[in-house]
Structures are given as structure tokens and as C-alpha cells.
Amino acid sequence: MAAKVKVFEVLAEMLAATGNVPVFGVTGDANVYMIDCFSRVHGGRFIAAANENGAALMALGYASVSGRVGLATVTHGPALTNTLTALAEGVKAGTPMVLLCGDTAPGDRENLQKIAQHELILATGAGFEQLNKPETAAADLARAIRRAQAERRPVAFNFRTDLQHQLVERPIEPLPMNIARPAVTPGDDDLDNAVGIIASAKRPIVLAGRDAIDSESSQALIRLAERIEAPLATTLRAKGLFGHAGYNLGIMGTLSAPAAIDAIMRSDCIVAFGAGLNFHTTSEGAFVEGKRVVQVSPDAAGIGRGHTPDVGLVGGTVETVNRIIYWLDEAEIAPSGFRGELPTDGIADYPEAQPGGEHLDYIDMLSRLNDLLPSDRVFVTDAGRHMVKAMQYLEVEHPRFYVQTASFGSIGLGIAQAIGAAAAEPDRPVVLTTGDGGFMLGGLTEFNTAVRHGLDLIVILCNDNCYGAEYAILRDKQMDPALSLFDWPDFAPLADALGGRGVTVRTAEDLDIVREAIERRDRPLLIELKLDPARMPFW
């Protein structure tokens, strides 16, 4: 007969069975026994956050970089409501994460933390799984993890406080929690239509999105682009995928380089793999107007989420590319010749900075920091006015090492996701760009979390003493921007007080201090750029 164990012990064992995936969280009465067992009995890695939203965001950052389901846990009531922004961010970003949240016992009417958690969670767009009864605890949690992976969104696993100490039989065998995606080849009719569009194109572009960034897919797309003599481009979230390939346009969308924009506007066909074709990628539709579009996605839900393609193919990138090239060769279709109209490289380059005057030039600082920062970095961008140029001028080796945190349009989500990214890649330094408002909103407390857990984190804090978007709106309307201005404290001394190290950059000469600080860092480092709000670029 199987041994009897408590429900919280079952859940702790299930978490340990995920295979060295850390759990991020804040403990309370509903989850403290589970996390104690996970850490003490099973040797699991628990990363204690300063607040619950930070914990959920850390799990998102971990999932984005690792490619695995992120795990976070909070207690009930206000702890759960604190995570709603993170859940919405994860839904909009399509990031798989399971939030294990306690819930108040149904008969506990006077409990101050009682709230309708089910309705709140569903309002964010996240999935919901309930621990139905003690005997199904393992199966219920496994189902939540599988759903998060399959649906590519956060799923909340809700468990009542009164069930934690119920005795159940220990599961004899671990339950399957992962889903293997089968190879999929698109149907013949859709494939024929796609091949016909590609064969007739005179200036095609091959576009890669986040769902096509694995090594086999990227090599397949390079083969296809060479076969049809098309330049390569990526979405923002696939940034850096073709960094060393010829005829690379870089990012396609509102962040495109000037020469790339010219090539995109002259093209007549976009062949997109693993890209949602949202309004950013299509530049509000301008980049696809008058063009034939073929969209390839690993699942039907990815077709037509943004721009509606002329042909949508459900299939794997490698399988689809192989079939397209096969039929192009069979029909002896000649290459387009579009590459002959373009330079081999440099077309993705952004304009050089034009520093001058008494204030720091933000673009100049980014260009210099790009060379000073470790090249093997993971790069995370917080939302804010500072982010657009940071996305353009700071490079990454591979899109798996890039995390953008603005899918919900909220500032202040960056530092927590950077901590999750650091947990996923402990041998790589993590570089975060954030604004002064975002750091005060969500970064100050979690910077100390990075200190407590000894993470290799470099924060570039762009301090123009204001909420930048609001400053720009008021200024452009010839209104007084005073409402957007803030007299923040100096941030570098705050970083020191929180256990890290801070350096302040007021002039370009201060970068010598930055170089030394980066080379000698032994704790989280904050680099504060003192910027003029009137000279900060928006787009």
C-alpha cells in the first residue's frame, strides 16, 4: 500500500519533478509548507521575491529565456491581486507560466483575504485550474503545467488552504507534464498556393518571428532566402537571429533601419515564419500594403492574429521550407534577383549619434555602452520612452537572449523579468535598460532581490527625471510638462544602499568609470545616465 503524505508534500514533489526549474514567489499561510518541503526535502531552488507581481514576472522572464514553463507561487487574496499585471503581460506576450496560488477556504467567510480569485484570473486572459480534491492534486497540477505549455500563456493553479494538510496516497509514478510537439507539414493545396506566390515574386523578403528562432529553423530560413535571393528580416522578438548572415535587414517594423525601410517598401512579397504580423511588425500596415503575404505558423492559432495573409500554412518551419524549396526546384523556378539590388551588409545599421552640447546624447551613450557591455549578455528592456533606441542600438547574440517586457504597455516590469532571465542563464550577465519612473515603480525593491540571490545583473537606468511619454505629449501640445517631472533621488547611492554598486554618468568621460565597474563587478551594478528630458528621442 502506498505511503500516506500530505497534499502540500505532493505538490512540493511535483514541483521538484519538473527538473531543476526554480520557483519564484512570496510565501504566506497558503503556500509556506509547500515551499518549505520543496526547498528543504527536495533541494529545490526557491527565489524569494520582494513582492508578488515581481515573483510572477520573474517566472515570465525565466520562461522567455529558457523555453520552459516558468513557476511562481503566492498566497491568497491581496497576494493574488498583486500578480494581475504580470498575468496580463504573460498572456499578451504568449509566455507559458504556472502561478500556484493559495485560496481561502470556502467556509471562512470572515477571512480578510477572501476574494473571487477565479473571476480575477480569467479577466487577465490567463487560464485557471483548480485543485479539485486532495486525491487529484498531482494530476491537477500536471494538467496546469501542460496547459501553460500547450496554450503558451499563464495558467493559475488554485489550491485551497484547508486542503493542504489532508492525507493522500503518494503518487506511484510521476505524471507527464511536458508535451512533445509533432512535426507538421502543411497541406498540399495551401502549399501549392504559397509556392505559386513565392515563384512569381520579384522582390521577396523572408521574415522570422519568435516561433522560428531555433538553430534548425534559422538555417532552413537562410537556405530559403538564398534559394529565392531574398533578404532576411526578423520581428523585434527574433532580434539578432540573422546577425552574421548576408543581406540582413534586421528588425522589420516600426524599429527598422532607414535603408531596411527602403528595401521593405520596394518588396512585393513577405514570407513570414513564426511571426504574428502585428501592427508593430507591419508598421501599421504600411509594410504589407500591396504585397502578397505567406504566413507559416506551427499552429492554426498563429495564422491571421495580426495581418491577414494571402495564404496561411500550418506547419513546422523546417518541414515547410523543405517542401517549398523542393517544388521550386521541381518547377525550375529562377531566383528573384532581389539581392542583386541590395548591399551585402550594413543595410540594418542605424544612424550614428551626433553628440554635442553640454548634455549626454542618449544614442551616443547606447552606442558606446554596446561596446563596453559583455557581448555574451542577456538583454532585457523595460517599457518607457528610453526603450525604442535601446532596442535598436544594443545587440544580442541570439533572440533567445532578448526579453522585451512591454506587451501590456506597463513600465516597471523589467527588473523582475531580468532576475528570471538570470536564473535561466546563470553563466551569462543580464543587462537591463529601464527608465527612472519604471525603476521607482517596480525596480527598487527587486534590485535588492538580485543582490540577495547573487545575480550578475547590470542595470542601465536612463534618468531624465520624468515620465517620458507624458513629458513628450505635453511638450508637443505646447503645454507645461511640469506634471510629468519628478525630483528623484540620485539612484547610484540607492544601489549601494541596497547592497549592489552604483555609478553615475554625467559626461562621456565618466564612461571610463563605467568600464572599470563592469570589469570588476562582483554584485548587481546600476549605471545611472543623467539625461536631459528635452533631448531624449521618442522614436
pLDDT tens digits for 150-173? 999 999 999 999 999 999 988 766
When pLDDT is averaged across residues 301-318 and rounded to a whole number, the result is: 93
Query: Minimal CA–CA distance to 342: which of 269, 408, 260?
Result: 260
Domains defined for the chain, CATH in brackets: 4-169 (3.40.50.970), 188-341 (3.40.50.1220), 362-535 (3.40.50.970)
78 backbone dihedrals φ, ψ, rounded to 5°: -60, -30
Would you place residue 534 in the very low, low, confident or very high pLDDT band (cuts 50, 70, 90)? confident
Residue 149 reports pLDDT greater than 70: yes
Residue 175 reports pLDDT greater than 80: no
Q: What is the pLDDT of residue 169?
A: 87
Side-chain half-sphere exposure of 460, counting CA atoms within 13 A: 29
* pLDDT digit string, tens, across residues 189-235: 889 999 999 999 999 999 999 999 999 999 999 999 999 999 999 99
When pLDDT is averaged across residues 421-445 and rounded to a whole number, the result is: 95
Here the cell at position 385 is: 520612452
Share of the chain above pLDDT 70, in %: 98
Q: What is the pLDDT of residue 188?
A: 79
Would you place residue 356 in the very low, low, confident or very high pLDDT band (cuts 50, 70, 90)? low
Q: What is the pLDDT of residue 350?
A: 93
* pLDDT digit string, tens, across residues 12-26: 999 999 888 999 999
When pLDDT is averaged across residues 487-510 and rounded to a whole number, the result is: 95
Would you place residue 128 in the very low, low, confident or very high pLDDT band (cuts 50, 70, 90)? very high
Would you place residue 41 in the very low, low, confident or very high pLDDT band (cuts 50, 70, 90)? very high
For residues 396 and 379, is the Cβ–Cβ distance under 8 A? yes
Least confident of 86-90, 135-139, 377-381: 135-139
Residue 467 reports pLDDT greater than 80: yes
What mean pLDDT value characterizes the chain? 93
Residue 48 reports pLDDT greater than 90: yes
Residues whose CB falls within 8 Å of the CB of residue 57, separated by 6 or more in sequence, listed in order: 86, 89, 405, 413, 416, 417, 420, 442
Residues whose CB falls within 8 Å of the CB of residue 335, separated by 6 or more in sequence, listed in order: 227, 228, 229
Q: Which residue has the cell 526579453?
A: 403
Q: What is the pLDDT of residue 139?
A: 92
Q: What is the pLDDT of residue 300?
A: 87
Residue 478 reports pLDDT greater than 60: yes
When pLDDT is averaged across residues 325-352 and rounded to a whole number, the result is: 93
Here the cell at position 295 is: 504566413
Here the cell at position 461 is: 537606468
Instruction: Note the Cα 429 to chain centre separation in Å.
Output: 16
Q: What is the pLDDT of residue 288?
A: 96
Q: What is the pLDDT of residue 184?
A: 75
Q: What is the pLDDT of residue 43?
A: 95
Most confident residue range from 124-128, 136-140, 464-468: 124-128
Q: What is the pLDDT of residue 2?
A: 63
Would you place residue 102 in the very low, low, confident or very high pLDDT band (cuts 50, 70, 90)? very high
When pLDDT is averaged across residues 37-52 and rounded to a whole number, the result is: 96
Would you place residue 421 in the very low, low, confident or very high pLDDT band (cuts 50, 70, 90)? very high
For residues 511 and 434, is the Cβ–Cβ distance under 8 A? no
Query: Minimal CA–CA distance to 386: which of 407, 412, 408?
Result: 412
Least confident of 178-192, 308-322, 444-458, 472-486: 178-192
As a whole number of angstroms, the distance between CA 462 and CA 485 comes to: 14
What is the edge-to-edge ordering of all strands in the sheet holding 457-463? 402-404, 378-381, 430-435, 457-463, 525-530, 501-505
The C-alpha R_g of the chain, in whole angstroms, comes to 25
98 backbone dihedrals φ, ψ, rounded to 5°: -115, 125
Would you place residue 363 in the very low, low, confident or very high pLDDT band (cuts 50, 70, 90)? very high
Share of the chain above pLDDT 90, in %: 82
When pLDDT is averaged across residues 439-465 and rounded to a whole number, the result is: 95
Exposure letters 260-294 (e unless 16+ CB within 10 A, then b): bbebbeebbbbbbbbbbbeebbbbeeebbeebbbb
Side-chain half-sphere exposure of 481, counting CA atoms within 13 A: 20
Q: What is the pLDDT of residue 172?
A: 60
Would you place residue 113 in the very low, low, confident or very high pLDDT band (cuts 50, 70, 90)? confident
